[in-house]
Amino acid sequence: MAKLLNLSAFMLVTLIFMFQPQPGYSQEQPEIVCIQCHSGMPEKYSQPVKLWRGSIHAENGIACNACHGGDPKDAANAMSRERGFLGVPKDPDIPAFCGRCHVGVMKDYLASAHGRALGKGGPTCVTCHGNHQVLKASLELINEKSCSRCHSYDRARSIRDAMQETETMIVATEARIIDFKKVGSDTEKLEKELFALRNHFHSLFHNVNVETVKKESSQIQTELKKIQSVLATWDQTNQKRKIAGAIAISVMLLIALFAHLLRKTFE
Amino acid sequence: MRVLNKIVDWIDQRIGAREILKKELTGYLLPRNINAWYSLGSILLFAFALQVLSGILLLIYYVPDADKAFKSVSYIMNEVPYGWLIRMCHAVGSNMMVLALLLHMLSVLFMGSYKRPRELNWLTGFILFSMIQGISLTGYLLPWSQLSFWATTVATNSANAIPVVGPYLVEFLRGGVLVGPPTLGRFFALHVAVIPAGIAALIGAHLFLLKRTGVSTPPFGKKNTESQLQSDVYHHEDHPGGIPFFPDFALEDLRGIAIYMACFLAVLFFDPYLFFPKDAFIPANAFVTPAHIKPEWYFLANYQTLKIFPNELIGLSLQGAAMTFLALLPFVDRGRERHPLKRPLFMACSVGGLLLWIGLSIWGHFS
């Protein structure tokens, strides 16, 4: 009997511990051949890899072949034209090169004073956003150091000032949405709305007309306030829940006290 | 009132209800020095009932399909009236129930209530504890979040450490090579049908054993600390001159349940995400591994033990040995003394073991 008990308990325990969690895995993914080869090359060829690692593209998993084409799994044919390798675009081709993915942005850029100066000494995408260490579109890109390379900063400053408030609102709204998302709130609709508004806002980045920027910014702010009012409603709901919780806890404590006193009475 | 009396009379004439009530409530006498720790059993019964009720309500909207599970939980949390309350009750309740269960086991341990003739009570209780861990683990996968997916991947992967059959066992548990839709189906069936049925049956057995053996006398106060069993013949430990279960101890139980509920509601309304890491609200993605997957707090000591040992099998075997020892404790510790202060070796080992468990859990949390 004792042996049977021992055996049963051991089998049970073994079964339980098959379910016990183990240390997490590291998140290592095999690198594509472009990075493997270029990392070990002289600086001229390895620097793009270093720069790319700090880019918004790297952050979102967009690797070399997404822009330059080629076969990232076959080292021998990685840069083969037959495998779709495009290499480095010439300056006037850069907007079309980037515009394969950023279709709307290319349209905005081409319609702007910057775009209209394409091929005539005007800036391309990489002039402001960088190549390889591609920066996320933000107001930080409009700065005296960058803009003064080609023209005075005065008008750019007016545009940036007009957009700053909206940018701040977008960042704050996004942070609040993330906070709600972290606790299981269904933020999908709000996220989509904010995404559309942010895209609309970013389309202004290529617009150099101060009045248009001010007008559009104001419209975006109105829409942002609608999102913020939804978030405020959620806040109120949470507050109401806390009040209801406090009442429920008080009732439970009163029941406990009542039971305790009644028990003492019976004693 | 007259109608109610008539109904009771009608039933009493047929099944002798008053006699049962008298025997099981007012005539059911308990030790005079019974203490509040004895209420933990009733608290656990209440907590389990709450889990069953909230689980049934969740079943109305939950969809056990890998493509729909996360959305259905999100729907419950955001669209279903009071759905958030039901879901959070279930999730917070599972953690609180494990906490109450641990306290119940500790009180039994320190008061020596597991000793002869209550070896089977301890054993059924220990199996119940393991099943509660099992139901918590299977429930973890159901929301199909990043946390669910990767915690289950890591947990099922443990079976790989078992020589020879390990890989086959992993595939059997997952219903495939990787965690996927078949795993969700299996865990769902275990969580809502197989394990609850097992728990209900074991609770029945546990209560049956309690009734047949009688409530143990606490080893403190005026009463002597020795077991009432003097011979090898079956003997029900009764308590003549003791306090009646109703109303005296029922009020003690009610007080315990109300205090438990106050704590439970405090977590539910003021810190409901205490037991939820941020990955709990991100849909499962087999291609994105979160940086650190940590198990629930009550598995952290096991988790850290496995990290300490370079070989998984050694870690698992050690834990298995410790659990087996605990399960069979009444058969190992056969002394009749139950007062903890009169058992210095037992006290040293128990307090040391408890501190080790707490230390490993804290280490696991911060590692």
**ipTM score of the complex?**
0.92
Q: Is B35 on the interface with A (CB under 8 A)?
A: no
Q: Is there a contact between B262 and A184 if contact means CB atoms under 8 Å apart?
A: no
Domain for residue A256, yes or no?
Answer: yes
What is the model's pTM?
A: 0.80
Interface test with B, best of A7, A18, A177, A251 (most B CBs within 10 A): A18
| B304-312 average pLDDT score | 89
Q: Is there a contact between A13 and B323 if contact means CB atoms under 8 Å apart?
A: yes
Q: Is there a contact between A6 and B79 if contact means CB atoms under 8 Å apart?
A: no
Domain for residue A246, yes or no?
Answer: yes
Q: Is there a contact between B155 and A19 if contact means CB atoms under 8 Å apart?
A: yes
| A58-77 average pLDDT score | 90
Domain for residue A189, yes or no?
Answer: yes
**Among A24, A183, A20, A187, which residue's Cα sits nearest to residue B145?**
A183
Domain hosting residue A191, numbered range: 153-267
Model pLDDT for residues B325-346, shown as the tens digit of each residue? 999 999 999 998 999 999 999 9
Model pLDDT for residues A73-108, shown as the tens digit of each residue? 888 889 999 999 999 999 999 999 999 999 988 988
Please list every residue in chain B whose beta carbon sits closer than 8 Å to the beta carbon of residue A238: none
> B283 - beta bridge partners?
B145
3-state secondary structure chain A: CHHHHHHHHHHHHHHHHHCCCCCCCCCCCCCCHHHHHHHCCCHHHHHHHHHHHCCHHHHCCCCHHHHHCCCCCCCCCCCCHHHCCCCCCCHHHHHHHHHCCCHHHHHHHHHCHHHHCCCCCCCCHHHHHCCCCCCCCCHHHCCHHHHCCCCCCHHHHHHHHHHHHHHHHHHHHHHHHHHHHHCCCCCHHHHHHHHHHHHHHHHHHHCCCHHHHHHHHHHHHHHHHHHHHHHHHHHHHHHHHHHHHHHHHHHHHHHHHHHHHHHHHHC
Domain for residue A102, yes or no?
Answer: no
Portion of chain B with pLDDT greater than 90, in percent: 82
Q: Can you give the pLDDT at residue B168?
A: 94
Model pLDDT for residues B5-44, shown as the tens digit of each residue? 999 999 999 999 999 999 999 999 999 899 999 999 999 9
CA distance to partner chain A, nearest, from residue B97 (Å): 18
Q: Is there a contact between A18 and B169 if contact means CB atoms under 8 Å apart?
A: yes
Q: Is B178 on the interface with A (CB under 8 A)?
A: no
Model pLDDT for residues B50-106, shown as the tens digit of each residue? 999 999 999 999 999 999 999 999 999 999 999 999 999 999 999 999 999 999 999
Q: Can you give the pLDDT at residue A222?
A: 96
Domain for residue A23, yes or no?
Answer: no
Across all residues in chain A, what is the average pLDDT? 86
Q: Is B248 on the interface with A (CB under 8 A)?
A: yes
Q: Which of A10, A16, A263 sits opposite B130 (nearest CB)?
A: A16
Confidence of residue A30 (pLDDT cuts 50, 70, 90): low
Domain for residue A93, yes or no?
Answer: no
Domain for residue A114, yes or no?
Answer: no
Q: Is there a contact between A266 and B248 if contact means CB atoms under 8 Å apart?
A: yes
Model pLDDT for residues A180-206, shown as the tens digit of each residue? 999 999 999 999 999 999 988 988 888
Contacts of B27 (CB under 8 A, 6+ apart): B244
| 3-state secondary structure (DSSP) of residue B292 | coil
| B143-161 average pLDDT score | 92
Q: Is the pLDDT at B189 greater than 60, yes or no?
A: yes
Q: Is B168 on the interface with A (CB under 8 A)?
A: no
Q: Can you give the pLDDT at residue A2?
A: 46
Number of domains in chain A: 1
Q: Which residues of A touch B (CB under 8 A)?
A: 2, 5-6, 9-10, 12-14, 16-27, 181-186, 241-242, 244-246, 248-249, 252-253, 255-256, 259-260, 262-263, 266-267
Across all residues in chain B, what is the average pLDDT? 93
Q: Is there a contact between B262 and A18 if contact means CB atoms under 8 Å apart?
A: no
Domain for residue A106, yes or no?
Answer: no
Confidence of residue B230 (pLDDT cuts 50, 70, 90): low
Q: Can you give the pLDDT at residue A1?
A: 42
Q: Is there a contact between A249 and B134 if contact means CB atoms under 8 Å apart?
A: no
For chain B, which domains are there?
36-226+236-366 (1.20.810.10)
